[in-house]
Structure 1
Amino acid sequence: MDVKSAILNGFIVEEVYVRQPPGFESAIFLDRVYKLRKALYGLKQASRAWYARLKSFLLKSGFVMGSIDKTLFLLSRGGDTLIVQIYVDDIIFGGSSHALVSSFAEQMSREFEMSLMGELQFFLGLQIKQGLEGTFVYQAKYTRYILKKFNMGDSKPMTTPMSANTALDADEDGEAVDQKKFRGMIGSLLYLTAIRPDIQFAVCLCAHYQASPRTSHHQVVKRIFRYLKFTPELGLWYSSGSSFSLRGFSDADHAGCRIDRKSTSGTCQLLGTSLVSWSSRKQAIAAPSFLWMKATLSDFGLRFGRIPLLVDSTSAISVAKNPVLHSRTKHIDVRFQFLRDHYEKGDIDLVHVVSTNQLADIFTKPLEFDAFTRLRGELGVTGWRCVYNALIKGEIESQWTVFIALLV
């Protein structure tokens, strides 16, 4: 649902005055100003005032606010649950009971002027296809838009976002390129990483050189666009039959940066077979984000014991489990103290995984085509045509067959 003139629903607590706007001047009090009673668009307090009004209304209606995500609200009634997610004036909601969902829609319509948009199909650039077997989320429309925007629509497609032999550095002797255009390309790609983990590492690596982009950096960014030309329809498939077991993968290319010798850490978390969180960042210390994911999922009533954290370094596991740090391991004291602390608390269970099965590998380094596509598939990045073909072969039950056949 969409709230009409949402900002105007907010009540401001502070005293705010504005000069008399054109067309609303007082012929008697020319030297006076207006005192605002409600928020207006453009006012710094407006968004906060609207959120405060909506939050107050939801809490009075029996909702509970998420402990991690403050824009998440949940309502439990009997054995049913209603979930509400807020993004400024756009609200996504769903529940286990049609009656509960309808009641919420009517309640909101009575309190605010609303537009009910129906089943979720498009949100903030995300395209959503829903069926009984699962949900497919992708950004094909946005991908084609940025390809056209940066004149890459007719470029030669590439099968991977980055060559396995690519090693970027500052390239201070290289030819400088238009910084504004380069930053625009990076910004557009960063938004796309919200649903495309397969380009996360390449985009984040190129983003390091926005201050002084060179031709070598620009060529790598153009290759990412050429990869998108090859795979515009890829997205994430979330199966409704997936279990609720939480797993985490963590990897690092120790001291891989050619400039400051810092490591690039890659992490990803899967809820069953569904990828729900991922990151690729250069940092001195990698603090796994699965603990944040564990706390977030607790708002939905999901409880977990020891979460398996799969790493491909036996020495890292040994150091994290060892209660005594030797002098040779002092340089990694902080990170493994963090891991050991949560290991001893029972939050995580460090498990060794062979390097070929390390899903987080895709977030730490450029890979060859075979390894890249294999890991991409295991992360659940696929195209709706692949889902359709699986339906035809009987690999997925036939409820989606008619639905996706219409797309074809």
Structure 2
Amino acid sequence: MDVKSAFLNGFIEEEVYVRQPPGFESTKFPNRVYKLRKALYGLKQAPRAWYARLKSFLLKSGFVMGLVDKTLFLLSRGRDTMIVQIYVDDIIFGGSSQALVSSFAEQMSREFEMSLMGELQFFLGLQIKQGPEGTFVHQAKYTRDILKKFDMSDSKPMTTPMSTNTTLDADEDGEAVDQKEFQGMIGSLLYLTATRPDIQFAVSPRTSHRQAVKRIFKYLNFTPELGLWYSGSFLSLTGFSDADHAGCQIDRKSTSGTCQLLGTSLVSWSSRKQASVSLSTTEAEYIAAASCCSQLLWMKATLSDFGLRFGRIPLLVDSTSAISVAKNPVLHSRTKHIDVRFHFLRDHYEKGDIDLVHVVTQIQLADIFTKPLEFSAFVRLRGEIGVEGVDNALIKGEIESQWTSLIALLV
């Protein structure tokens, strides 16, 4: 549902005055100003005032606010549960009982002026298709729009977003480019990574050459319909962590790649350069694992709002040395120069929050976020993280990937 004129529903506590609008000046009091009773669009207080009004209404209606995500509200009625997620004036809601959902929609319509849009199909540029076996989230329309915007619709398609022999070093003598257009291309691609983790590594800030960016667009021209497939698989939380030591040719910093899955569905991922130069592959892998551990702990806390509880969360790393550093305190003497904030990985291992597990490189899903891959490896990993075409995804059903049984054994 969408709230009409949402900010006008908020009451402000501060005294705020505005000048008389042009064309609506008072002939009797031309030099006076108006005192606002409600929030107005453009005020800094408006979003906060609207959220306070909506939160107050939901809490009075019996909802409980999430402990981690303050825009999440949950309602329990016997065996039925209802979930409400707020994004400014857009509200996504659903529940296990149609009566509960209808009652909530009626309550909201009485309190606020609402537009009920029915089943979720389009949200913040994301297209959602729901089938009996799962949900497919994609940005096919957005992809076609940006290809047309940057005149890449008729470009030669590429099978991968980045060549394996690409070296992006300082190109001081290269051809000058239109900075505004280039930044627009990067910004457009960054938004697309919300449903296209297969281009996450290529789009990261390391991409400084226009030709490299154009190759990403050519890859999108080859695969415009790809998106993320979410199936109703078993609910377990798993993390994958990998690193490409000294991958950046300019400053020799390593690249951390991490991804987190709920069951067999990819729900979070990251590809970023590390803040400091690592002196060894072990150190780079250890820092990447610490980053993944941090994200897993945050997700564990967030999922507790939904009533999901997890024990030791498996964190799969393909470096036995990095695992040894985390498990064996004697080895810490060799890693004194590692920033102390990364050593919390070992603390949470000892507390039993995570379980560091070695995984062979061939099924290391985070590999796709750390380096360019050749076609067969790229396509294999792309499928493993759930990036599918719309037709293939909706008929995929309960087909499990190669590593599903591995995860089931770990949890």
User: Same fold by TM-score, threshold 0.5 exceeded?
Assistant: yes
Q: Residue type matched to 1:109 in 2?
A: S
Contact 1:3 1:115 in 2 (8 A): yes
Deviates more, 1:173-182 or 1:191-200: 173-182
Shift of 1:173: 2.2
CA deviation profile, 1:190-232 (whole Å, cap 9, x unmatched): 000001100000001445x4xxxxxxx0000000000000111
Shift of 1:54: 0.6
| Counterpart position of 1:125 | 125
- 1:90 equivalent in alignment to 2:90: yes
Decide which of 239, 242, 249 is 1:248's aligned counterpart.
239
Aligned twin of 1:220: 212
Question: Could you tell me which residue of structure 2 aligns to residue 32 of structure 1?
Answer: 32
The alignment's C-alpha RMSD in Å is 1.6
Q: How big is the shift at 1:275?
A: 0.6
2:187 corresponds to which residue? 187
Cα deviations by residue, 1:310-341 (Å, 9 ceiling, x for unpaired): 00000000000012344322123536512101
Alpha-carbon offset, residue 84 of structure 1? 0.6
Structure-2 residue corresponding to 1:159 = 159
Alpha-carbon distance in structure 2 between the residues aligned to 1:165 and 1:359: 21
- 1:275-354 equivalences under 5 Å are 275-284=266-275, 285-286=287-288, 287-288=291-292, 289-332=295-338, 334=340, 336-354=342-360
Question: Equivalents in 2 of 1:96, 1:148: separation in Å?
Answer: 41
- Closer, same or farther: CA 118–185 of 1 in aligned 2, 3 Å: same
Instruction: Indicate conservation of the 8 Å contact 1:206/1:220, yes or no.
Output: no
Q: Secondary structure at the match of 2:255?
A: strand
Summarize deviations over 1:110-165 as a string: whole Å, max 9, x none. Answer: 10011100000111111111122111111100000000000000001000000011
Give, as a single letter, the amino acid of the residue that structure 1 aligns with 2:42: G
Which amino acid is 1:258 matched to? Q
Q: Give the secondary-structure state (helix, strand or coil) at the position aligned to 2:41.
A: coil
SS in 2 for 1:130: strand
Aligned to 1:232: 224
Q: Give the 3 Å change call, closer, same or farther, for CA 321–335 of structure 1 in structure 2.
A: farther
Size of the aligned set, in residue pairs, is 385
Shift of the 348–205 alpha-carbon distance from structure 1 to 2, 3 Å rule, reads same
Q: Which residue does the alignment assign to 2:100? A: 100
CA deviation after TM superposition for structure 1 residue 63, in Å: 1.2
CA contact (8 A) 1:206 1:221 kept: no
Contact 1:319 1:336 in 2 (8 A): no
In the TM superposition, residue 388 of structure 1 has moved relative to its aligned partner by 5.2
Residue 250 of structure 1 and its aligned partner are, at CA, apart by 0.6
* Distance in structure 1 (CA, Å) of the matches to 2:340 and 2:234: 34
Q: Distance in 2 between matches of 1:175 and 1:251?
A: 34
Paired position in structure 2 for 1:401: none
Distance between the aligned counterparts of 2:178 and 2:318, measured in 1? 41
Unaligned runs of 5+ in 2: 276-286, 401-411
Does the C-alpha gap of structure 1 residues 85 and 388 become closer, same or farther in structure 2, counting only changes over 3 Å? closer
Counterpart AA for 1:168? L
Q: CA deviation at 1:389?
A: 5.5
Aligned to 2:264: 273
Give the letter aligned to residue 158 of structure 2: M
8 Å Cα contact 1:320/1:336 also seen in 2: no
Greater alpha carbon shift after TM alignment, 63-72 vs 125-134: 63-72
- State percent identity of aligned pairs: 85
Distance 2:66 2:200 in 1: 28
Q: If the length of structure 1 is used for normalisation, what is the TM-score?
A: 0.91
| C-alpha separation in 2, matches of 1:337 and 1:59 | 40
Please tell me whether the aligned partners of residues 315 and 354 of structure 2 are also in contact (alpha carbons under 8 angstroms).
yes
- Work out the CA distance in 2 between the residues paired with 1:155 and 1:23: 52
- Distance of aligned partners of 1:395 and 1:67 in 2 relative to their CA distance in 1, 3 Å threshold: closer
1:70-81 correspondence runs (5 A)? 70-81=70-81
Give the CA deviation at 1:238. Answer: 0.7
Task: Please give the secondary structure, in 1, of the residue aligned with 2:257.
Answer: strand
1:260 is displaced (CA, Å) by 2.1
Query: What TM-score do you get using the length of structure 2 for normalisation?
Result: 0.91
Structure 2 match to 1:56: 56
Secondary structure of 1:301's aligned partner: coil
1:261 maps to which residue?
252
Tell me the distance in 1 between the aligned counterparts of 2:327 and 2:311.
Answer: 18
Contact between 2:324 and 2:331, CA under 8 Å: does it hold in 1? no
Deviations 1:222-272 (A, max 9, x none): 0000000011110111112x0001110011112222222222111101111
2:350 pairs with 1:358: no
Quote the Cα distance in structure 2 between the aligned partners of 1:297 and 1:388. Answer: 26
1:66 Cα offset (Å): 1.6
In structure 2, distance between residues paired with 1:344 and 1:190: 37
Report the counterpart of residue 368 of structure 1 in structure 2.
Answer: 374
> Structure 1, residues 154-195: CA drift from partner, whole Å, max 9, x if none?
001000000011121232222221111010000000000001
The aligned residue for residue 408 of structure 2 is none
Q: 1:248/1:328 Cα in 2 relative to 1: closer, same or farther (>3 Å)?
A: same
CA drift at 1:390: 4.4
Q: Is the 8 A contact 2:74 2:83 kept in 1?
A: yes
2:46 maps to what in 1? 46
One-letter amino acid of the structure 2 residue matched with residue 362 of structure 1 = I
Deviation at 1:344, TM superposition (A): 0.7
CA distance in 2, matches of 1:179, 1:346: 49
